[in-house]
Amino acid sequence: MFSQSFFDRIPSKRGRALYAIACGEHSTKLDVKERAGLSMSTVIASVESLRQEGLITVSERRVATGGKPHSVIDVSPNKCVYGVSFRAGVLYAVALDLRGTVVARRSLTPSEGVSPLLAVSTLLSRLSESAPPPLVLGLALRVSDREEMVARLSEEQGAEVLPASGVLSLAYRALWRGSPYPLAVIGVGNHVKCALLDGGSCRSVDLSELTLSPAFSANGAGVAALLSPSRVSYALREKRFGGHFYAIGGDLRECGDLSEYSSLLVRAFSGAIEVVNAFAAPREIRLFGEYVTPAFFDRIQSALGSLPLVREEADGAELAVGAAIAALTERVFS
């Protein structure tokens, strides 16, 4: 599937030629020229460079009229990228070919006491039984010793490892599927993070310490403490809504019931969205989180009126796909 916004983000003519080839089958140089909007001389040079890199195959096909054979171009079937993510206690790994199609996937629930590095290495070993070695590995994983993990995995896999946050992975996945940019994805978990894709840049912004008014907790904590799934789950389970305040008529009132607490969460989430919109003016804002249910999303959408909001849904495997697409974008098509 051709995504104009994804294509526009690719900086190099070589990368644009490769993406044009990946979006078709049995392409001719003329097909690539028309899809990529490149000169024929650039297409010829790019095809030769990509062939030497082993990223594409070029074969000759005879024409029915008996004329001169023409070149048929496809992406190499034995080249792929990997993506790894962790969600709800489960590790996920996927392999994507250069068309972005999943060719293999594996999951693993790490045993207690097993190091993250060993668990990821074991999972990748299982994935490699069904997929070629990776050109690049996208890693959407929060660990305390991430730099060491990146170095060790790069050595084990013989490939570059590209760290990517969960929200950044989802942003690349959305862009690949045709979302416009500037594009923002806001995710709520232990942190409140926002991924921004605009022009040639990609940024991941931590909104966790953002203090929102008129929605804040009694101890003055930031938005992460107020919106974290664990805190929300506790408040709902125990029906403890006190300690959260909201402003009304110039006064502060403490939440006393579920209705007030729910309204407070909507205000807090909406406040974070408004900050992102003022800062980046994205053409699409995607919201992701455990309790961003259709009903909760509808309330946010109602509160913010005309902002271009989309509710994002993704399990751990889809996060891994996003991490792989991030690697594909930044290291293969770049």
| pLDDT value of position 11 | 87
**Where in the chain are all domains bearing CATH 3.30.420.40?**
80-172+317-332, 177-313
**Separation in Å, CA 243 to CA 117, 131, 167, 275:** 40, 52, 29, 24
The pTM (predicted TM-score) of the whole model is: 0.89
| pLDDT value of position 65 | 61
Query: Cα–Cα distance between 239 and 216 in angstroms, integer?
Result: 18
What percent of the chain lies above the pLDDT cut of 70? 91
Taking 60 as the threshold, does the pLDDT of residue 221 lie above it? no
Instruction: Supply 131's token pair.
Output: 């997929």
Taking 70 as the threshold, does the pLDDT of residue 219 lie above it? no
Closest CA to 45 of 10, 18, 72: 18
Q: Which fold has domain 177-313?
A: Nucleotidyltransferase; domain 5 (3.30.420)
Tell me which DSSP letter residue 331 carries.
Answer: I
Instruction: Supply 305's token pair.
Output: 């009126």
Measure CA 18 to chain center.
21
Query: Cα–Cα distance between 300 and 77 in angstroms, integer?
Result: 44
Under 8 Å between Cβ of 311 and 292: yes
Taking 70 as the threshold, does the pLDDT of residue 220 lie above it? no
At residue 108, what are phi and psi to the nearest 5 degrees? -155, 130
How does strand 284-289 pair with strand 309-311? parallel
- What is the CATH code of the structural domain delimited by 4-75? 1.10.10.10
> What's the mean pLDDT in 311-321?
94
Taking 80 as the threshold, does the pLDDT of residue 215 lie above it? no
> What's the mean pLDDT in 241-249?
75
Query: Cα–Cα distance between 34 and 27 in angstroms, integer?
Result: 11
Which segment of 128-132, 136-140, 143-147, 274-278 scores lowest on mean pLDDT?
143-147
Say yes or no: domain 80-172+317-332 is CATH 3.30.420.40. yes
Q: Per residue in 44-99, pLDDT tens? A: 999 999 999 999 999 887 655 666 777 899 999 999 999 999 988 999 999 999 99
| pLDDT value of position 291 | 80
Q: What is the mean pLDDT of the chain?
A: 88
| pLDDT value of position 109 | 96
Taking 70 as the threshold, does the pLDDT of residue 320 lie above it? yes
Taking 70 as the threshold, does the pLDDT of residue 211 lie above it? no
In the block, residue with structure tokens 């170095």? 151
> What's the mean pLDDT in 121-140?
96
**Where in the chain are all domains bearing CATH 1.10.10.10?**
4-75
Closest CA to 156 of 138, 139, 134: 134
> What's the mean pLDDT in 276-280?
90
Residues 6+ apart with CB under 8 A from 255: 241, 242, 243, 244, 245, 246, 261, 264
> Ranked by mean pLDDT, which of 1-5, 113-117, 188-192, 230-234 comes out on top?
113-117
